[in-house]
Amino acid sequence: MKKQAIWKHLIPGIIIAGIALFLTYRKMDMAQLMSALGEMSWPVLLLILPPLALSYFFRILRWRLLLSPLEKVSMKDASGPLLTGFMVNALLPGRVGEILRALLLSRRTSVPRASSFATVVLARIFDGLTLATMTLIVLAVLWTELDTAIRLGLIGAALLYFVVLLMLVSLRKWKEQAAGAISAPFRWIRLKSFSEKIERLLISFSHGLEVLKNWREIIQVVFYSLCVWGMLALSVLPVFSAMHLEVLWYYPLLVLILAGLGMLIPTPAGTGTVHGALVLVLPGLVGITVEDTRIFALLFHTTQFLPIILVGLIAAVREGVTTSQVSELADKEPSEMK
């Protein structure tokens, strides 16, 4: 596979990131920036690391639980692929790390690739549902301060996750029938072979959804998801404290929601788009100045992504991941997994 695959995917993301950063910081007051950085309580930022590390610990526990109907996977076998996958996601747009994570897990264990990928998708769906719940909570708090377009956009994003979960539940319960229904539109437009390929993949994919039939395990997955995002919310607080900014209980939730929206645009680690989302919305809702929000966005983004990139690189070396393998995956679609 061509090694240019990484750059083919990375360059558009870098361009978008560069434009977003320029638009966000083109009016930055450098004197105020240096003054604010000089007044920072830098040691406080170290308090970010424990809750951030715990968030990934709970992600690993949740993934092991999702995998448990397929195989009992050890912490060691689950942690390397997960950390490597998140590192790749932070560097490359397009969620290449999700595919890599599933493939690395299958290489370590006997879990089929499609089923492994199904558990990765399911974990992300639970992340989305948790984020959607947080969105609805913040909407209730800030309802009168939001204009109609923002309200509808946030509600639509929240509902989308619930629709996808309903589709996955249907796939788990009815398998062949649901897979046939999902792939049917491709048959209607005379892509019969592609439709059959998608149907076979979805049936294999459904085996990774076994946990959905057990309510006790679903509750456990929900609990771990709440722990993941609870720890992430706690990891935001030291940034407020380091900058000596006032913080109310829902501010960290709002920051995570806006960061999640920024991540929807494919740039490396949401660079530029996360900053833009925070600077565009946060000042009007929490009373922080635009200049302080620009600095906050830089600190938040760096402290959230730099640690996982560093730890993920170590995990990738241990997993024996090469750039050529990532290049190959950059051109691979989930439908090619068997």
Total number of domains in the chain: 1
Q: How confident is the model at residue 1 (pLDDT cuts 50, 70, 90)?
A: very low
Least confident of 42-51, 54-63, 90-99, 304-313: 90-99
- The C-alpha torsion from 189 through 93 and 90 to 251, rounded to 10°, is -80
Distance CA 14, CA 12 (A): 5
193/330: higher pLDDT: 193
Task: State the sign of the Cα–Cα–Cα–Cα dihedral 38, 44, 46, 48.
Answer: negative
pLDDT in tens, 250-303: 999 999 998 988 887 777 778 888 888 898 888 878 888 888 899 999 999 999
| C-alpha 62, offset from chain centre | 15
**DSSP state letters, 23-77:** HHHTT--HHHHHHHHHT--GGGGGGGHHHHHHHHHHHHHHHHHHHTTT----HHH
Domain enclosing residue 249, as ranges = 4-336
Among 334, 269, 306, CA closest to 100: 334
Structure tokens at 208: 């990774």
| C-alpha 126, offset from chain centre | 11
Q: What is the mean pLDDT of the chain?
A: 82
The pLDDT assigned to 2 comes to 47
| Residue 135 · residue 115 · CB < 8 Å | no
Chain position carrying tokens 């830089």? 298
